[in-house]
Structure 1
Amino acid sequence: MSRTFSSTRRTLTLAAASALGLLALTPLAAQAQAFPTKTITIIVPFSAGGTTDILARVLGQFISKDLGQPVIIDNRAGAGGNIGTQLVARAAPDGYTILMGTVGTHAINQSLYPKLGFDPIKDFAPLTRVALVPNLLVANPAQPFKTVKELMAYAKANPGKVTFGSSGSGTSIHLSGELFKQMAGVDIQHVAYKGSAPAVNDLLGNHIAIMFDNMPSAISHVKAGKLRPLAVTTAQRSPALPDVPTIAEAGVPGYEATSWFGLLAPAKTPAPVVAKLNASILKALADPDVKKKLLEQGAEPAGETPAQFAAFIASETVKWGKIVKQSGATAQ
């Protein structure tokens, strides 16, 4: 009898412990399933008005309607995107603070900065890639060159005189210029800004000569005649500006550089929350109005599973690490 009683008591004790464990997990599971119940913040690690900001605002509006909660955009510019990115890496992993990451924050910066303050792989839960974007080589119309070949000839005749702006040292905009500098064999001077918008403003004022800007933040100025398009950085021409040649076509064979953007949550964000955010973003990217807005900006909508995005980030890290090394670019 004593053995039977002891065995029964042990079984009941284990069952009770198991039940208590399930009860302890229930609030977290319930919170994940109920997500979202409050405002979601998308951190943009660059200034307002640039491509990262434009994409975040277009998607934020749709996600807000789809999930039934406000979505606000919080611009935290600085250090080539590292300041805002670190903020999200350290945020609560509950899905309410997410990042509009870029090829810079998640594939380039770790090759440029000795100390990032975050691990672009371990500290994030990828949601999905949002868009692929060509960089557009644009010049102030007052500059004495109208084509890539004329730019190259002018730069070679005036070493160090041509300045090119970027949204920050080590960004894809900066490295597009460094790659051009290397492959074209020209001496042009980099000027780093805290975001694309202030760089474009100085380009419009002819304080800098050229810029390899993300197309969404430059295309409106091109269409208005305020900036002169010389070429796109991708291997193929952009449907948004079909008459503008690629840099490879225009005089630098083999040249290619593409920017990408994607949404990420902090690591350890619950799988149901990641799945719900991924589904909402994919729904946005498939929406005709959202697609139209992105395509009008020169951005090609993407969209994939979190696992696919994670694998893509890993491959891009290797690719851009090589480009950084070959170009000799360093963070300032």
Structure 2
Amino acid sequence: MTLKLTRRQVIAAGAALPLVPTAAQAALTEKPVRWIVGYPPGGSTDTLARMLSTGLSKSIGQTVIVDNRPGAGSAIAAGVLAAAAPDGLTVMGADNGTLINNPVLYKDLKYDPDRDFRPVGLYAGINLVLAVGVNSSFKTGAEFVAAAKVAKEPITYASPGLGSPLHLAMERFVRDADIRLTHIPYRGMAPALTDALASVVQSIIIDYTTASEAIKGGLLRPLAVFSKTRLAALPDVPTMSEQGVPGFSAGAWQGVIVPRKTPDAVVASLSHGLTAALSDPGIRLRYDQLGLELPQSDPETFARRWQQDKEYWPQLIRSLGIKLD
């Protein structure tokens, strides 16, 4: 047990968890906490980790360092976390790809989500946007769907990677809209966006967090949002459900996880710190600007969402026959 706990956090953790060893509550360290990110710089996972690390650092009284370990849809990073000591000094910003999709996509993972990890708290609901470069002839999601239904050659779309949450959200859209599209996977969102802006690829599925500056700058045209309701940041952009695909919605989420054997007191401290960071008015304002949803952040809520999503996405992946080994 090496995570530094403030006096208030120790008392709170002790009250909620009376069986936690006293030694665990009292341990102190000056070592930094490493926040592992499974994707390259420039995407939403990296952006959010850097945004929240400062607030988390203030709350737990330790420096938080973001460590990018991209590759294999975050599987490389998750493998690093699984091998880390359960002392609270290594955490990861995981998404539904890490915990739900990868175990179905990869045959030989270096981790098992249920065996190796435990949830600390959700920190973001990621809203997705179907978009095109400004030189595209498509102006709305309805036009896009109509064109896709009659196109001799399927319209192409970019995603940050095969089997990524964004790719699978698009596959769900393809199925619900009864259309054909050609998927062009990239190694991360930054190169996918670059090619979408240059019209190298005809469209892109992208999180609004990453797309916001390009949209505001008039470089990228949003056709539809994949959320259940319109985004406050994009009030004039209809949902896909409003544009001919009734009932459709798809998104992604992110949360902090730690090694499975991390003590309860450490998880309580990290959860408290994450909640404190998310409560900052500046963070809330930034979330609104980036079109992010602010979920309830605690281990129990995260665990429920984790299990709920396991009921749908693995079945979709198997039905599509996607394997990444």
**TM surpasses 0.5:** yes
2:134 maps to amino acid: P
Shift of 1:327: 4.6
Instruction: Select the residue among 153, 156, 159 that pairs with 1:163.
Output: 156
Q: Which residue of 1 aligns with 2:290?
A: 297
Whether the 8 Å CA contact 1:165–1:208 is kept in 2: the answer is yes
Question: Which is worse superposed, 178-187 or 219-228?
Answer: 178-187
Change (3 A) 1:30 1:176: same
SS at structure 2 position matched to 1:239:
coil
Whether the 8 Å CA contact 1:63–1:280 is kept in 2: the answer is yes
2:53 maps to amino acid: G
Q: Which runs of 5+ in 2 are unaligned?
A: 1-20
Q: Which runs of 5+ in 1 are unaligned?
A: 1-27
Instruction: Select the residue among 75, 79, 82 that pairs with 1:86.
Output: 79
Q: Which residue of 1 aligns with 2:118?
A: 125
- Residue-by-residue CA offset, 1:55-85 (whole Å, 9 max, x unaligned): 1111101112222222111111111111111
- The structure with more radius of gyration: 1
Change (3 A) 1:36 1:290: farther
Instruction: Give the distance between the partners of 1:261 and 1:253, measured in 2 at CA.
Output: 26
Whether the 8 Å CA contact 1:282–1:304 is kept in 2: the answer is yes
Instruction: Give the distance between the partners of 1:138 and 1:199, measured in 2 at CA.
Output: 12
Instruction: Give the distance between the partners of 1:121 and 1:190, measured in 2 at CA.
Output: 30
Instruction: Select the residue among 298, 310, 317 that pairs with 1:317.
Output: 310
1:257 and 2:250 matched: yes
2:207 maps to amino acid: N
Whether the 8 Å CA contact 2:73–2:102 is kept in 1: the answer is yes
Instruction: Give the distance between the partners of 2:41 and 2:152, measured in 1 at CA.
Output: 33
Aligned 1:223-302 pairs, distance under 5 A? 223-302=216-295
Shift of 1:207: 1.4
Q: Which residue of 1 aligns with 2:91?
A: 98
Shift of 1:254: 2.1
Instruction: Give the distance between the partners of 1:326 and 1:185, measured in 2 at CA.
Output: 15
Whether the 8 Å CA contact 1:285–1:303 is kept in 2: the answer is no
Question: Which is worse superposed, 283-292 or 308-317?
Answer: 308-317
SS at structure 1 position matched to 2:234:
coil
- Residue-by-residue CA offset, 1:110-129 (whole Å, 9 max, x unaligned): 22222222111221121001
Instruction: Give the distance between the partners of 1:34 and 1:281, measured in 2 at CA.
Output: 20
1:41 and 2:39 matched: no
Q: Which residue of 1 aligns with 2:54?
A: 61
- Residue-by-residue CA offset, 1:258-305 (whole Å, 9 max, x unaligned): 211100111101111111000000111111111111221111111332
Instruction: Give the distance between the partners of 2:68 and 2:134, measured in 1 at CA.
Output: 30
- Residue-by-residue CA offset, 1:19-68 (whole Å, 9 max, x unaligned): xxxxxxxxx95465335521111111011111111111111011122222
Over the residues paired in the alignment, what is the CA RMSD in angstroms? 1.8
Instruction: Give the distance between the partners of 1:60 and 1:278, measured in 2 at CA.
Output: 13
Instruction: Give the distance between the partners of 1:62 and 1:187, measured in 2 at CA.
Output: 44
Whether the 8 Å CA contact 1:36–1:67 is kept in 2: the answer is no
TM-score for the superposition, normalised by structure 1: 0.87
Shift of 1:156: 3.2
Instruction: Give the distance between the partners of 2:83 and 2:212, measured in 1 at CA.
Output: 35
Shift of 1:221: 0.9
Instruction: Give the distance between the partners of 1:100 and 1:198, measured in 2 at CA.
Output: 21
Q: Which residue of 1 aligns with 2:13?
A: none
1:308 and 2:301 matched: yes
Shift of 1:93: 0.8
1:319 maps to amino acid: Y
Question: Which is worse superposed, 255-264 or 109-118?
Answer: 109-118
Change (3 A) 1:147 1:36: farther
Instruction: Give the distance between the partners of 2:199 and 2:22, measured in 1 at CA.
Output: 56
Q: Which residue of 2 aligns with 1:73?
A: 66
Shift of 1:185: 2.4
- Residue-by-residue CA offset, 1:291-321 (whole Å, 9 max, x unaligned): 1112211111113321331222111112222
Q: Which residue of 2 aligns with 1:25?
A: none
Instruction: Give the distance between the partners of 1:270 and 1:230, measured in 2 at CA.
Output: 46
Question: Which is worse superposed, 104-113 or 272-281?
Answer: 104-113
